[in-house]
Structure 1
Amino acid sequence: MSKYWSQLVKQTDPYVPGEQPSTSDVIKLNTNENPYPPSPEVTQAISRQLNDSLRLYPPPSVDDLRETIGDYYGVNKNQVFVGNGSDEVLAFSFMAFFDPGKPVMFPDITYSFYPVYARLFQLEARTVPLTDDFSIPVEPFFHAKGGVIFPNPNAPTGKYLNLEAIEQILIHNPDNVVIVDEAYIDFGGESAINLLDRYDQLLVIQTMSKSRSLAGLRVGYALGRNNLIEGLNRIKNSFNSYTIDRLAIAGARASFQDEAYFQKTRAKIIRTRNRVTDELKQLGFNVIDSQANFIFITHSGVNAGQLYQQLKANNIYVRYFDRPRINHYLRVSIGTDEEMDIFLNQLKNVL
């Protein structure tokens, strides 16, 4: 700990991302990346931007991409905010809509960046325990005193909360912003975007990292009423007006314009997830019902931490969280069918 650090830095407990092995001879099932490349239209669009325009700043308002996203979801571009990955959008949202002295509520088992942001921005975090089957309970989120945020599907469990339940949370929080983090919604369930026309306090955040294979471009976005989007813009323009570069804008727009490719790859991942889930159950694993591009698994006869190490020793990377309630589970991203077959065969060798 450096004597030059501020008190804020000293009190920070940073987020720990999944391991990023430096070699290519591994099966990487630990960071929920898409196993398939982005649409060819994306790389072509990026290539067309490799010209003299790179000497110029990108448009700070990102109008073209916001309009593309708005058209895709049937909303006005002024209801769209774009940031450098959904993590940046989440960070801006914590600053824009939650106040010190007023607790922000989120599940106790959830995306581990939420408590990091709460500490960083000196907010009180109030966690709501998941039920025994890892479902998000609804009523404990009623009448929040500061704000509500949760992923849907949840991470790392993959469980989905239906729109009727989300609407109940909104009805009982008319004066609090409710953020639904939909990083994985394209792999199952119905988006809360369908509720935007009814609730002023709803903000939906999505990413292009998962279902659109663009984790390397860092593009995330939020959809909500104009007043919420304006709040995010005020925060962004107090940090950096140019959060999205020209290549990312071009690639992201092209991805939204190639709907056939998007539907093809997401369907492949869903099919593989369902197949692997069935095969794991036959091997004696308990698999939490997932609507994401990953599964959360446990086996009564195998220690999860040891299994994680054994898989890693065989160049198969999965995610292990050494935390109460979930330290018996592994989170496994869905890879290609070939990758998942190797994963399953390795499990058979261990069991």
Structure 2
Amino acid sequence: MTENAPTVLDAQGGDLRSLPDREFLDLGTCVNRYGPPPAVETALRCIKPEHLLAHPYGDEERFTEAYAEFMGASPDRLIPGRGITEFIRVLAQLLPTEQVAVVTPDYTDTIRRFPVHLDPPSGTAETAQSRLERVELGMRTRPYVFLSNPNNPLGFYLHRDDLMEICRANPDSVLIVDEAYIEFLPDHAELSMTQSGLSNVVVLRSPNKFFGIAGTRTGALWTLNPDIFRRVAERKLNWTLSHVDAVLAIAALGETEWAEHTRSALLANALGLEEILGDRFPGLVRGVPVHYRFIATDDPIADHRFFLDHGVAVRALDGRQPGRVSGLRITAPTAAELANLKDSLAR
């Protein structure tokens, strides 16, 4: 184990430093296992040392244009940044955190930065409807509500139209939506809240997870709210993105054929993952429209160890921690990995 490595329950997805020194199939991160697309490797090979001499003039503008086109949004409503995490940090600095309610369970940085949580009902299974009801409650009683949609780690997606209805009914409350996984949905451009046209909506987006380029740090904040847009833009760094980040992300965003094929394959593999896990783990959340699955379990450490014994790393979550729910999150593997996983678990 690496010195100062996080424990299993504290480690984020893809951080395997707490595990034994051996090879694991890493299904603990939510990054697309088929990525990066071929154009990214080509772009990386084309970067020459002399390209790194100058400051990255124009790179963030080129990235913003490319991402806006991919999203079907106006580039002048986007603020580029270093992934969604940067915007969570900035919003936590700008907004009174006691007035921001997070619909939990949610993403690691969100629940750490914003301590007011709208937790699932005790003793009942979480559903998309129960999450939607908490969004409505939050917007009715708080100035700001934070929501990951599709949700990390459960995978539920709340339809854009339902969220828009709640936002219209509560114009004095702002809904902040983390859409890190929206691009795994086939109709992501239409289903995103960037298409809402509402000024009490803030959307956080990043191509890193879907295109398998989490090693780069690119993302954007979208909003029609002039006050929030101005305040976040004032916090933007002089050089938001590095040249390498921008070049690789732009190359990925241009891979539309790869995106469609890979999305279909990965979602099919997620259904195959359900079949493999279902009988063994009754707490499996089924039928969600994303590439990962959540298993509710009272003993995530023991079940985490079960997968390690079969050469697979998954994400363990401790329900005793604020904003968490007890269980495992497992990312869909590639088709070849799925076949190997089935054989491994059968043994």
TM normalised by structure 1 equals 0.82
Are positions 1:297 and 2:289 aligned together?
Answer: no
> Structure 2 matches for 1:112-261, cutoff 5 A?
112-118=108-114, 125-131=115-121, 132-135=124-127, 136-138=131-133, 139-188=136-185, 190=188, 193=192, 196=195, 198-225=197-224, 227=226, 228-236=228-236, 240-261=237-258
Structure 2 unmatched runs, 5+: 1-9
Distance of 1:310 and 1:284 partners within structure 2: 12
Gap change, CA 1:70 and 1:146, over 3 Å in 2: same
CA deviations 1:57-114 (Å, max 9, x no partner) are: 1137711111112222232211112111211122223334x225x5201123111211
More moved, 57-66 vs 189-198? 189-198
Distance of 1:63 and 1:323 partners within structure 2: 42
Gap change, CA 1:322 and 1:195, over 3 Å in 2: closer
AA aligned to 2:69 is D
User: 1:33–1:213: 8 Å Cα contact kept in structure 2?
Assistant: yes
User: 1:196–1:224: 8 Å Cα contact kept in structure 2?
Assistant: no
Are positions 1:267 and 2:264 aligned together?
Answer: yes
Gap change, CA 1:194 and 1:160, over 3 Å in 2: closer
Q: What displacement does 1:331 show?
A: 0.9
More moved, 227-236 vs 198-207? 227-236
Q: What displacement does 1:40 show?
A: 1.7
RMSD: 2.5
Q: What displacement does 1:129 show?
A: 2.1
For residue 287 of structure 1, give the secondary structure of its aligned residue in structure 2: coil
User: 1:295–1:333: 8 Å Cα contact kept in structure 2?
Assistant: yes
Q: Among 332, 337, 340, which residue is 2:338 paired with? A: 340
Are positions 1:306 and 2:306 aligned together?
Answer: no
Gap change, CA 1:172 and 1:144, over 3 Å in 2: farther
Distance of 1:211 and 1:346 partners within structure 2: 27
User: In the alignment, which residue of structure 1 is the partner of 2:90?
Assistant: 92
Gap change, CA 1:221 and 1:40, over 3 Å in 2: same
More moved, 74-83 vs 224-233? 224-233
For residue 279 of structure 1, give the secondary structure of its aligned residue in structure 2: helix
CA deviations 1:309-344 (Å, max 9, x no partner) are: 1322343111111224832x2111111123233333
Q: What displacement does 1:255 show?
A: 1.2
TM normalised by structure 2 equals 0.83
Q: Alignment length, in residue pairs?
A: 321
Structure 1 unmatched runs, 5+: 1-14, 119-124
Q: Among 12, 15, 32, which residue is 1:17 paired with? A: 12
AA aligned to 1:316 is V
More moved, 281-290 vs 50-59? 281-290
User: 2:316–2:329: 8 Å Cα contact kept in structure 1?
Assistant: yes
> Structure 2 matches for 1:74-85, cutoff 5 A?
74-85=72-83
CA deviations 1:133-152 (Å, max 9, x no partner) are: 32313231232433111101
AA aligned to 1:26 is F
AA aligned to 2:336 is E
Poorly superposed stretches of 4+, deviation over 6 Å: none
Q: What displacement does 1:258 show?
A: 1.4
Gap change, CA 1:283 and 1:312, over 3 Å in 2: closer
Distance of 2:170 and 2:191 partners within structure 1: 15
User: 1:95–1:235: 8 Å Cα contact kept in structure 2?
Assistant: no
Q: What displacement does 1:242 show?
A: 1.4
Aligned-pair identity in percent equals: 20
Gap change, CA 1:109 and 1:298, over 3 Å in 2: closer
Distance of 1:40 and 1:176 partners within structure 2: 43
For residue 143 of structure 1, give the secondary structure of its aligned residue in structure 2: helix
User: 2:178–2:205: 8 Å Cα contact kept in structure 1?
Assistant: yes
Gap change, CA 1:304 and 1:177, over 3 Å in 2: same
For residue 295 of structure 1, give the secondary structure of its aligned residue in structure 2: strand
Q: What displacement does 1:252 show?
A: 1.0
User: 2:310–2:345: 8 Å Cα contact kept in structure 1?
Assistant: no
